[in-house]
A and B are shown apart, each in its own frame.
Chain A
Amino acid sequence: MTHLAELPSWAALLTALLLLLGAALALIGSFGLLRFGSFYERIHAPTLGSTLGIGFVLIASMLFFSVLQSRPVLHEVLITVLMVVTTPITLMLLARAALYRDRTEGNDDVPPST
């Protein structure tokens, strides 16, 4: 905890706010996993954490290290790009797999294939 005190107060407050917002969004998203009743509703829940939730945490991290080391630290952009590209792919693959399984099992609540 030695270096935390060297941070100017505006940066510290902003970092704290962004971290709390990001973590709260992630918690709401994961809580949604428990609350929704069906698979196709549940799959919407983690997007909360993986878009804005992790976005806030990454901005906080970038701000914190850039101010602390007095130089732009852009590492976190890589995780941002990775998340932006990968989350839609995993969710899409999952939704397609679930739809395929539901169709082969003959569940009525999914639309038929064209």
Chain B
Amino acid sequence: MITTILIWSILIAQILLVLAMGCAVVRIFRGPRAQDRVVGLDALYVNATMLLLIFGIRTTSTLYFEAALIIALLGFVSTAAIAKFLMRGEVIE
């Protein structure tokens, strides 16, 4: 009984996160300006990290943790680089 509740909660949480990623993707496509798209990208990678962590719980494997860590790291670096690019037109000065 309790296990059923847990399984369903995991499923619902995953659906909620996929909807959240959908919202972020809509914002990426709609813009209207470059900075709006980058905010969408930021939300997208945070949601992806959470989704991977929940996949880890669902399959009771800690392997997903590494993937989540890498997505969080790469998301940070890419958003920071794009923000820098928006400001100066160059990534490295």
Residues in A lying within 8 Å of B, measured CB to CB = 1-5, 7, 9, 12-13, 15-17, 19-20, 22-24, 26-27, 29-31, 33-34, 39, 42-43, 45-46, 49-50, 53-54, 57-58, 60-61, 64-65, 68, 73, 75-76, 78-79, 82-83, 86-87, 89-91, 93-94, 96-98, 100-101
Tell me if B's interface is mostly helix, strand, loop or mixed. Answer: helix
| Total residues of chain B contacting the partner, CB 8 A | 51
Closest chain A residue, CB of each to CB of B66: A75
**With A34-B26, A54-B46, A90-B83 in contact, is A26–B39 under 8 Å at CB?**
no
CB neighbors of A among B19-77 (8 A):
19-24, 26-27, 33, 35-36, 38-40, 42-43, 46-47, 49-50, 53-54, 56-57, 60, 62, 65, 68-69, 72-73, 76
